[in-house]
Amino acid sequence: MTPGPPPKVVTRLRDGRIHAYVAGTGTHGMLEPAAVFPPRDGEEAVASVVRQGPERVVRTTPNGVVRLTRAGDLVRASDLEPRSRVRHGHRPGCALPLDGRTVWVHRPDTMAGRGGGDQWVVHDAGSGAVLARCEPETVGHGASHRVHPVDGSVCLDIGEGQDGSAVLRGAVGADSEPEFVLADRPAGEGTARHGGPGGGRPDDEVLAARPAEASAPLSRRPPDPDRWRRPASPAGAGFRGREPGTRSPGFEDGGLGRGPLR
């Protein structure tokens, strides 16, 4: 009999604290947090991950990776150098494989203004040392990590807005060295992908396909060349063009009117 997947640990950030929830097979109803990890002074957590236990949490901030105990004591901290001075638009992410021996960190360095491209970095969970580094040639604000529930490999989905997504897969090889594979980066076409919750179909088998030409195009209304050149209407005749020094009465000339919509 094939063993089922281990319980899934989900983290949520609430009021600066990381709440860890454990959801096993057959779990129903409202979940209560299995653990609550307090924040550190001056720390802005943007992503977090907890393994089953849960006694320790790994969290990323805009400029670092931090590992804490359940009581909030610091276990290990690594800085993302050079320090970014960009306030918004970049959210480093993290993942823990099933064995918990490594920490995988996505660094959106381009959007952070650090120079160079994005990086996917593997740290030793105990010492914090960098074991491997991958430069996927992407420019993303952030990414989603997914850990395979059976073999423990890690998938990384880097969203690049209108340029689509790059999907990478990483795993620790037989020689204990991390290995990276560019699983998908379509040129000029979009794809929708999802893994089976039990880890099935890991070989990228196509289950369904829909050609791009079968999709309905977005409707775009042509611009009105007279949109901003309409003459003023007589007083009381409804919407009229705005006269110099007056408040716009409605939406006809682009103003934010306060009257009722009709």
Q: What is the pLDDT of residues 72-100, one digit of tens each?
A: 888 888 889 998 988 888 999 999 988 88
| Tokens representing residue 5 in the block | 């997947």
Q: How far is 201 from 81, CA to CA, in rounded Å?
A: 38
pLDDT of residue 4: 65
Where, residue-wise, is CATH 2.40.128.630 in the chain?
Answer: 8-197+205-212
Indicate the class that CATH gives domain 8-197+205-212.
mainly beta
Q: Which residue has the higher pLDDT, 221 or 165?
A: 165
**Ranges 12-21, 43-52, 91-100, 230-239: which has the least confidence:** 230-239
- β-pair type (17-23, 130-134): unpaired
pLDDT at 127 over 90: no
pLDDT at 67 over 80: yes
pLDDT of residue 44: 83
| Integer angstrom CA distances of residue 5 from 2, 10, 119, 204, 219 | 9, 15, 30, 20, 44
Tell me what percent of the residues of the chain surpass a pLDDT of 70: 66
Q: How far is 14 from 20, CA to CA, in rounded Å?
A: 11
| Tokens representing residue 82 in the block | 């050079």
Q: How far is 17 from 229, CA to CA, in rounded Å?
A: 54
Q: Which residue has the higher pLDDT, 211 or 73?
A: 73
pLDDT of residue 2: 59
- This prediction has a pTM of 0.68
